Structure 1
Amino acid sequence: MAAGGHILPIISKNFCSSSQVILRVRKRPHVVTGGGFVVTDWSQKVIFRIDGCGVLGRKDELLVSDGNGNALLLIRRKGGLVEAISIYRQWRGYSVEFQGSDKPLFRVKQPHSCIVNQNLMKISIDENEYQNRRRDFEIKGYFPDRACSIVDSKGNVIAEVGPEEITARNDMYRVVVNPGIDQAFVIGVIAVLDYIYDGSTRC
């Protein structure tokens, strides 16, 4: 389970497993479906679909859906003057049930200033229906090398990205999600990383 033996639902407790889950990520070609990627389990069953701006028609916007095509998470980059004067670029993930809400489920902060470590990305989760306190995470490692982890404030790894063992192709890799952790949240963070590093979700 998550640190302390508890589940950590952020999008939904339906995506929290009592055991470790290994997911496979496969890019979708831009020319066929407009960009994005598909997440399957080891039996090739589609668990999540991620659509980028080639499908949605908007830059800096991502959509995470479940395997049946039901939208779960809308992710947008916050722009404007606030970002221009900030040392971070900020991405926000919203429940699609509350698209008009100003309260995101999570935020990913990407440094874009020499004042801070350019490789240090932070994730924050505000209070929600499942928890009554804020939680913070960091990305450690380098996503383009398929060698990074999401760790909590105590240094516990909640998910890891690694190369796919059965192929050397860079368009497929694995994500290991530890027990009790919301897989939809982890994939939402992976979607942001994919976009930041010019992955398949970008136009």
Structure 2
Amino acid sequence: MAGKANTMPVISKLYCSSSQVVLAVRRRPHVVNGGGFVVTDCSQMVVFRVDGCGVLGTKGELVLRDGNGDALLLIRRKGGMVEALSIHKKWKGYSFDYEGSQKLVFTLKEPARSCLSNNNAIRISTEPKSSSKQCEYEINGYFPDRKCSIIDSTGNLVAQVGVKKEVEELMASKDVYQVVVKPGVDQAFVFGVIAVLDYIYGESTRC
């Protein structure tokens, strides 16, 4: 019963594991700028893939796919006059149902460009599921340094982004890193958030 209580599906409970999961992220090689990245498990099997604007041909848009290449999340940056007048830029993540219809599942608020620093938290809110309460999350740390985490509103660690020491010593770049996802946490949601962070900081998904 405790496992069920701790499960936090945002996209689907299919992506919530009963145990902690460590996944590796690698920038996708041999593609145009903004190609995205690939997420693999300990067996080198592809779990998720993120297509950036170099693949999609549209700026401010990302797609998270499962290991089979099926779209799980369409992520768009809200544009137009609303964004121009707002201090925070907003990203919205939409899941797909069996009929292909889009449903808003999370919103991420991006601080103004001048505020993108180690001390300015990026906040995420998920949409309520049935009668359950809306959940709030924020990013602690600095994603470009590969030292950041997603925490919930009560301060609990949800996912941790980092680089293995042996990898860090071999590579000067941050093209390969790992993400530790806590038990019961929706991994698809976590990598949807990471896809947006990647784009915000001008990395593999951005043209």
**Which string of whole-angstrom CA distances, capped at 9 and with x for unpartnered residues, describes residues 94-114 of structure 1?**
01337765x510011011177
In structure 2, give the amino acid aligned to 1:21: V
In structure 2, relative to structure 1, the CA distance for the partners of 1:81 and 1:200 (3 Å cut) is same
Contact 1:87–1:115 (8 Å) recurs in 2: no
Query: Aligned residue for 1:144?
Result: 144
Shift of 1:84: 1.0
Query: Aligned residue for 1:200?
Result: 204
In structure 2, relative to structure 1, the CA distance for the partners of 1:30 and 1:119 (3 Å cut) is farther
What TM-score does the superposition give when structure 1 sets the normalisation length? Answer: 0.90
In structure 2, relative to structure 1, the CA distance for the partners of 1:196 and 1:32 (3 Å cut) is closer
Query: Aligned residue for 1:85?
Result: 85
Query: Aligned residue for 1:55?
Result: 55
Residue correspondence of structure 1 range 63-82 to structure 2 within 5 A? 63-82=63-82
Q: Distance in 2 between matches of 1:10 and 1:163?
A: 26
In the alignment, does 2:147 pair up with 1:123?
no
Contact 1:88–1:113 (8 Å) recurs in 2: no
5+ residue gaps, structure 2, are none
What TM-score does the superposition give when structure 2 sets the normalisation length? Answer: 0.88
**Which string of whole-angstrom CA distances, capped at 9 and with x for unpartnered residues, describes residues 130-172 of structure 1?**
x621110110000000000100111101000001344123100
In structure 2, relative to structure 1, the CA distance for the partners of 1:115 and 1:175 (3 Å cut) is closer
Query: Aligned residue for 1:172?
Result: 176
SS at match of 1:72: strand
In structure 2, give the amino acid aligned to 1:110: E
Shift of 1:4: 9.5
Q: Distance in 2 between matches of 1:164 and 1:183?
A: 20
In structure 2, relative to structure 1, the CA distance for the partners of 1:3 and 1:119 (3 Å cut) is farther
Shift of 1:35: 0.8
Contact 2:32–2:54 (8 Å) recurs in 1: no
Query: Aligned residue for 1:37?
Result: 37
SS at match of 2:206: coil
SS at match of 2:39: strand
Please give the root-mean-square deviation of Cα atoms over the aligned residues, in Å: 2.6
Percent of aligned positions that are identical: 58
5+ residue gaps, structure 1, are none
Contact 1:2–1:180 (8 Å) recurs in 2: no
The number of aligned residues is 201
In structure 2, relative to structure 1, the CA distance for the partners of 1:9 and 1:62 (3 Å cut) is same
Contact 1:2–1:178 (8 Å) recurs in 2: no
Query: Aligned residue for 2:155?
Result: 155
